[in-house]
Structure 1
Amino acid sequence: MNVDRIEKKIILNASREQVWRAISDSSRFGKWFGVAIDGPFVAGQEANGRIVPTQVDPEVARMQEPYTGTPWHVVVDRIEPMRLFSFRWHPYAIDAAKDYSAEPMTLVTFELSDIEGGTLLTITESGFDRIPLERRTDAIKANDGGWAHQAQLVKKYLAIEERS
């Protein structure tokens, strides 16, 4: 396993516009990701919220349930419409009693590209090599599994949105 980055690719049977809205609109993002976000995503600004179970998969929602109410904090890095959305955060920051603010953040990037029949979404999280050693392995392991789930959640979200 790479110790610095996680990368997940998923082919989505949806237009680039639909995928873009699902990842860059904070309300839509929150529905599939499992977070209630206090406002819109704006490049260079913080986005804050709290974990809530995803609205698109009951099994994943049950896994998220113990973390309901845990603060969620990102700094929006880049918004390049229809192509790239990225933010920085403290990975696996689930201990409400711990202050993670002095730790380095990882960079999460959602990149879109057209493919026949849909859109390829590449989710990359990098910068784990700077996370404190005592948290690094757990953070990589948790987020590797987490991004696998999240790739499926965005796919389910888009299928639900298309039916409604």
Structure 2
Amino acid sequence: MADIEDGAVVDEEHYSVSRTVHVRTPRGRVWDAITTADGIARWFGDTASLDEARVGASGSLGWEDFGDYAFVVTAVVDGFLFEFRWAKDPGVDVREDNATSVRFVLADAVDGTILTVVESGFDLLAGDDAARRELLHGNREGWNLELDELVRTLES
């Protein structure tokens, strides 16, 4: 079983949430799980679309109970870094005032891969500060659930 760190951590000052997990599988498998539609849909939501992992590509993440959330890929370093901005409301395009940035960074470990996820930009969202902080803390819980699922999926 993976060494799942204590859980996601909220940085109130910088309006970000982060989490690191150790997955006992090669980095290539983790990369595929975070950069392909089939891989993403196995652990993050119920459905996913993404044509390719390249800057400017768009896709969506879908949850049966919540709808589809658009995203746009903003950075890729093959095998090491994947980043996208995703809308915080279903069914709308990504804009500066309605999206946060999610960055995945992969590193080799002796017996697998270290994956760090940082979601930031909550301070740039439209609305009042209380609503932004509520979403920040809600996504903390979301990253705990979703990354636990990623580890279980890749290690099974």
Which bin holds the TM-score, normalised by the shorter protein? 0.7 to 0.9
Q: Tell me how many residue pairs correspond in the alignment.
A: 142
Tell me if 1:48 matches 2:60: yes
Q: In structure 1, what is the equivalent of residue 119 of structure 2?
A: 125
Q: In structure 2, what is the equivalent of residue 114 of structure 1?
A: 108
| TM superposition shift of 1:112 | 0.2
Tell me if 1:2 matches 2:14: no
If the length of structure 2 is used for normalisation, what is the TM-score? 0.80
Structure with a larger share of its residues in strand: 2
**1:92-117 per-position Cα deviation (integer Å, ceiling 9, x unaligned):** x25x6x88756242110010011221
Do the aligned partners of 2:29 and 2:154 also contact (CA within 8 Å) in 1? yes
Q: Give the aligned CA root-mean-square deviation in angstroms.
A: 2.2
Q: In structure 2, what is the equivalent of residue 136 of structure 1?
A: 132
Identity, in percent, stands at 25
Q: In structure 2, what is the equivalent of residue 26 of structure 1?
A: 37
In structure 2, distance between residues paired with 1:24 and 1:99: 20
Structure with a larger share of its residues in helix: 1
The aligned amino acid for 1:33 is F
| TM superposition shift of 1:21 | 0.9
In structure 1, distance between residues paired with 2:115 and 2:45: 18
The aligned amino acid for 1:145 is E
In structure 2, distance between residues paired with 1:44 and 1:36: 20
In structure 2, distance between residues paired with 1:144 and 1:150: 10
| TM superposition shift of 1:149 | 1.0
Q: 1:147 aligns with which of 119, 138, 143?
A: 143
**Deviation above 4 Å: which 4+ runs of structure 1?**
98-102
Unaligned runs of 5+ in 2: 1-9
Secondary structure, aligned partner of 1:32 = coil
Do the aligned partners of 1:35 and 1:72 also contact (CA within 8 Å) in 2? no
The aligned amino acid for 2:45 is G
Q: In structure 1, what is the equivalent of residue 74 of structure 2?
A: 77
Secondary structure, aligned partner of 1:38 = strand
